[in-house]
Amino acid sequence: MKRYLCLLLLLNNPVFANSVNTTSNSSGSVVNQAVQVVPSRQFQYQMNTITCQGATLNISPFVSTTYGFATPYESHFDRPVYSRRDIEGNFDDEDKPIGDGDVDAGYRGDILYHEQVRTGQKQSNVSINGGITATFSIPLDRTATKECRKAMVKQNELYEASLAAKRLNFEMSRAKTCIDNLKQGIRFREGTEMARICADVELITPPNVEHTHKLK
């Protein structure tokens, strides 16, 4: 019986509920920048026809700028403020009119005034970004690199031996020319610049060679 009485009381007493809808809007922009690293040429050692690759380290600094603007630019916008008059629609215990939780008829949709709301929109955006990119490259075939370097060392030794042989031929030719001139009684005058060419050449008697003169 008590359950039925409670149910009747709930049905006879109207329940008024006010609902408030709130909205929030946000806007923004994001600028994504990418830096492309282009593979550069590998560092190489070259000697004549032999070319060996080595490890390469590339360091590239960069600076980039971006400029953005909004059009049309609006710093503020007018937001209407509507009438919320609610003094009619229901009665209290003394039979006086009171609000029923809804805007009174005749005032619904009435705009009281407009308020300025800041948009937060920026007129222009400027950004400066800087950084450094670094790449390190090494040859994967280490065996071929070692053999190439050995071949380069051998090639350098051959160059040094060839240079020594040419140097020896030059010195022997110089000594022979100076001796031939001395035998003929020809020499540069002492103290002159050309005399230094044969300054270290001496004419001596060869060993184990009989040297005789006829006496009258």
Alpha carbon distance 209, 165 (integer Å): 30
Burial 166-187 (b: 16+ CB within 10 A, else e): eeeeeeeeeeeebeeeeeeeee
According to the model, what pLDDT value does residue 16 have?
A: 47
Give phi and psi for 165, each to the nearest 5.
-65, -45
According to the model, what pLDDT value does residue 57 have?
A: 84
- What's the number of CA atoms in the CB half-sphere (13 Å) around residue 212? 3
According to the model, what pLDDT value does residue 76 have?
A: 84
Tell if the pTM clears 0.75, that is, is over it: no
How big is the chain by its Cα radius of gyration, in Å?
53
Tokens of 77: 């916008």
Cβ–Cβ < 8 Å for 125, 66? yes
According to the model, what pLDDT value does residue 146 have?
A: 87
Tell whether the torsion through CA atoms of 116, 117, 123 and 126 is positive or negative.
positive
Alpha carbon distance 32, 62 (integer Å): 16
Residues near 212 by beta carbon (within 8 Å), at least 6 away in sequence: none
Q: Which residue has the tokens 């029923």?
A: 100
Instruction: Give Cα separations from 96 to 62, 91, 107 (angstroms).
Output: 78, 5, 20
Report pLDDT digits (tens) over 20-54.
455 555 555 666 667 676 766 667 777 778 888 88
DSSP state of 198: G
Which positions of the chain have pLDDT values less than 50? 15-20
Cβ–Cβ < 8 Å for 112, 81? yes
Can you tell me whether residue 159 is helix, strand or coil? Answer: helix
According to the model, what pLDDT value does residue 162 have?
A: 94
Tokens of 28: 């923004």
